[in-house]
Amino acid sequence: MQKPASDKIIYEHPLNERTRTFLRLEHLFKQLGHHLPNEDEWGSRATIDALLDIVNIFGRADIKAELLKELERHRQKLASMKQLKGVDTRRLDQILAQLEESSLQLHQIAGQVCQELKENEFLKSIMQRNTIPGGSCAFDLPLYHYWLQQPPATREAELRQWMSTLSDIETAVNLLLSLIRGSTHPTREQAQAGFYQQALDSQNPVQLIRVGLPRGTPLFAEISGGKHRFSIRFMEPTENERPTQTDQDISFFLNCCTL
């Protein structure tokens, strides 16, 4: 779920693994940015946790290659639109330049992304203990405890140094997700008795489903789907029981993002 600066709450659901990974990375980069300015020990701990989660993601897939493929796919698709009537060619050229610049920056990353962080003995020691509940407390990791007691400026400088290796990745992820989200305008739809389903054109794959509900609506959207269809259930949260699907007809905003 992403919280927009508007009067709606937006619920998102990726329909392929690539977009799913990009959304997870965006979430973690936001966590990094939020906690980094926090000068106390717990802010540094939260920043380290997000950083190590990013390192783990890069250990499971070649994200750099995935980003480069997606940047090139977007570049080709947008370039083919330049001759269409009514297209804002100035804005399109700006986007194409951003895609080109982002690809160039990624190509300049030598070797595997996060390799230096993976080989950092200090970070490795924390990562190994993080698999144990409470495993990074002071008596388990005295070096980590020592590091956390250093002046805030010292900790922040080192964190920023580690994060600097990821700045081009963050830029590419943010650019691609911005283009995907902005690829369609929302339509107003109706869910009968809290349920909505739609078939999809497999020849024009949808990357991301976005559902908008007015703030204050006592419901949340539960989205599921794949390349052929998706469904949305509008659920009523309860304090101690499992949420239940509402029996009311619900009006909502829908984006099927295809770029």
230 class by beta-carbon count within 10 Å (0-12 exposed, 13-18 middle, 19+ buried): buried
Question: pTM of the entire structure?
Answer: 0.90
Give the separation between CA 172 and CA 169, rounded to whole angstroms. Answer: 5
Give the separation between CA 2 and CA 177, rounded to whole angstroms. Answer: 12
Query: pLDDT > 90: what percent of the chain?
Result: 75
Q: 13 phi and psi, to 5 degrees?
A: -145, 120
Give the separation between CA 126 and CA 115, rounded to whole angstroms. Answer: 16
pLDDT at position 4: 45
Instruction: Give the residue with greater pLDDT, 20 vs 201.
Output: 20
DSSP assignment of 130-191 equals TTSTTTTSTTT-HHHHHHHTS-HHHHHHHHHHHHHTTHHHHHHHHHHHHHHHTTS--EEEEE
Q: What is the mean pLDDT of the chain?
A: 91
Give the separation between CA 157 and CA 136, rounded to whole angstroms. Answer: 21
The DSSP call for residue 131 is T
Mean pLDDT of 24-45: 95
Residues paired with residue 195 on neighbouring β-strands, in sequence order: 192, 233
Q: Rounded to an integer, what is the distance from CA 124 to the centroid of its chain?
A: 24
Using only the alpha carbons of the chain, give its radius of gyration: 21
> Residue 10: which region, alpha, beta or left (left: phi > 0; alpha: psi -120 to 50)?
beta
SS3 201: coil
**8 Å CB contact between 25 and 169:** yes
Question: In which residue are the tokens 């081009």 written?
Answer: 168
Residue 2, pLDDT above cutoff 60: no
**8 Å CB contact between 183 and 177:** no
Give the separation between CA 73 and CA 78, rounded to whole angstroms. Answer: 9
Most confidently modeled of 90-94, 130-134, 193-197?
A: 193-197
Q: 147 phi and psi, to 5 degrees?
A: -60, -40
Structure tokens at 152: 């805030």
Asked which of 107-116, 127-136, 165-174 is least confident by mean pLDDT, the reply is 107-116
Q: What is the pLDDT of residues 216-227, one digit of tens each?
A: 999 999 999 988
Residue 232 CB neighbour total at 10 angstroms: 24
Give the separation between CA 196 and CA 176, rounded to whole angstroms. Answer: 28
Mean pLDDT of 29-55: 95
Which domains occur in the chain, in start order?
17-180 (1.10.3900.10), 184-257 (2.60.440.10)
- The identity of residue 225, as a single letter, is G
Q: What is the pLDDT of residues 150-201, one digit of tens each?
A: 999 999 999 999 999 899 999 999 999 999 999 899 999 999 999 999 999 8
